[in-house]
């Protein structure tokens, strides 16, 4: 995740329940647009989903992974999933018929096919997410939980502390070490990492870098957090993370250093 860092010297348990019905009368315009696109099947990447062959199908378990790039899947029940680089999804035999339970680790975008009689259950290292039909970003890793809801509403429960909260469309919830942080997203940028190409118009570098970290599987650190307020306008396609950052650095006169594989340090004048 993006953070400020010094220049390199040398190169809880959570349960979330999802509902398809909205639980407030107001949603940001971008959230309404995403909802309409999902319902109508009009998202640009929707045609890219396919029923894919698993990486492995040993015995009773089927496993999908995304190694170097994103992976677009359509599961047997019609649920569409985008796997970020390094993500893993697996399920037992009978998925889509007797159950809709998957185990995940990493970062995903889910557009869950609605089926109230057979809820979609997501098991992460420290989380349990129950879905009837909605769309959201989910990052599940040991000790961390990040949820960003595009459509629908979500109830998240910390089983260790018996604490629960509702997360609505257009909201983000982050839980780490039982510390809860909930806020309005206020932009569609968190969901743009699922696109094949991006067109940024005077977007803060914070949003650009965050989208690239998710889509390209890279880690970005900056010398001065003021740099993240600088604005970027441009188009980004299928280039690698390193190529994208070199392009941005050249356009904005920034100094770019790759400190280790897929980890980059950026230095420049803050805005």
3-state secondary structure of 189: helix
Neighbouring C-alpha atoms within 13 Å toward the C-beta of 25: 0
3-state secondary structure of 73: strand
Confidence of residue 230 (pLDDT cuts 50, 70, 90): very high
pLDDT over threshold 50, residue 223: yes
pLDDT over threshold 90, residue 267: yes
**Which range has the worst mean pLDDT, 2-6, 43-47, 105-109, 216-220?**
43-47
Confidence of residue 72 (pLDDT cuts 50, 70, 90): confident
Confidence of residue 39 (pLDDT cuts 50, 70, 90): very low
Confidence of residue 56 (pLDDT cuts 50, 70, 90): low
Confidence of residue 231 (pLDDT cuts 50, 70, 90): very high
pTM of the entire predicted model: 0.63
Through-space distance between the first and last CA atoms of the chain, rounded to whole angstroms:
21
Residues of the chain with CATH 3.55.50.30: 197-267
Other beta carbons less than 10 A from residue 197's beta carbon: 11
pLDDT number for residue 5: 55
pLDDT number for residue 42: 37
Write out pLDDT tens, residues 159-206.
666 667 788 889 998 988 878 899 998 766 788 777 767 778 888 999
For residues 198-227, one letter each, b for 16 or more C-beta atoms within 10 angstroms of the residue's C-beta and e for the rest, the string is bebeebbbbbbbbbbbbbbbbbbbbbeeeb
- CA gap 38, 231 in Å, rounded: 29
- CA gap 165, 149 in Å, rounded: 14
Q: Are 66 and 83 in contact (CB under 8 A)?
A: yes
Residues of the chain with CATH 2.60.120.1440: 14-188
- CA gap 151, 154 in Å, rounded: 9
pLDDT number for residue 180: 85
Q: What is the largest CA-CA distance in the chain?
A: 57
More confident residue, 238 or 9: 238
Q: Does CATH place domain 14-188 in 3.40.50.300?
A: no
pLDDT number for residue 261: 86
Report the CATH fold assignment for 197-267: Phage tail protein beta-alpha-beta fold (3.55.50)
- What sections of the chain are H helices per DSSP? 29-40, 205-216, 241-252
Write out pLDDT tens, residues 94-152.
999 999 999 999 999 999 888 888 988 888 777 777 777 788 999 988 778 898 988 88
pLDDT number for residue 143: 77
Q: Are 109 and 194 in contact (CB under 8 A)?
A: yes
3-state secondary structure of 233: strand
More confident residue, 154 or 82: 82
Residues 6+ apart with CB under 8 A from 47: none
**What is the average pLDDT across 225-234?**
91
**Closest CA relative to residue 141, chosen from 175, 117, 116, 114:** 175
């Amino acid at each position: 995740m993006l953070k400020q860092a010094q220049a390199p010297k040398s190169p809880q348990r959570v349960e979330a329940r999802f509902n398809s019905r909205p639980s407030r009368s107001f949603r940001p315009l971008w959230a309404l647009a995403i909802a309409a696109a999902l319902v109508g099947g009009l998202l640009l990447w929707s045609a890219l989903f396919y029923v894919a062959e698993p990486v492995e199908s040993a015995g009773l378990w089927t496993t999908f992974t995304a190694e170097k790039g994103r992976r677009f899947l359509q599961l047997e029940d019609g649920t569409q999933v985008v796997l970020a680089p390094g993500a893993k999804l697996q399920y037992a035999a009978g998925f889509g018929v007797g159950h809709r339970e998957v185990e995940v680790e990493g970062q995903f975008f889910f557009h869950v096919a609605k089926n109230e009689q057979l809820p979609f259950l997501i098991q992460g290292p420290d989380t349990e997410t129950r879905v009837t039909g909605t769309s959201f970003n989910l990052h599940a890793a040991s000790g961390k939980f990040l949820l960003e809801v595009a459509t629908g509403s979500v109830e998240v429960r910390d089983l260790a502390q018996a604490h629960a909260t509702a997360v609505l469309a257009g909201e983000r919830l982050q839980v780490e070490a039982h510390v809860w942080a909930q806020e309005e997203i206020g932009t569609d940028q968190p969901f743009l990492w699922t696109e094949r190409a991006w067109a940024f118009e005077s977007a803060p570098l914070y949003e650009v870098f965050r989208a690239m970290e998710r889509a390209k599987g890279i880690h970005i650190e900056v010398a001065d957090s003021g740099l993240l307020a600088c604005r970027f306008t441009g188009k980004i396609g299928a280039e690698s993370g390193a190529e994208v950052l070199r392009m941005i650095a050249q356009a904005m006169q920034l100094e770019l250093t790759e400190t280790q594989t897929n980890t980059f340090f950026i230095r420049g004048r803050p805005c």
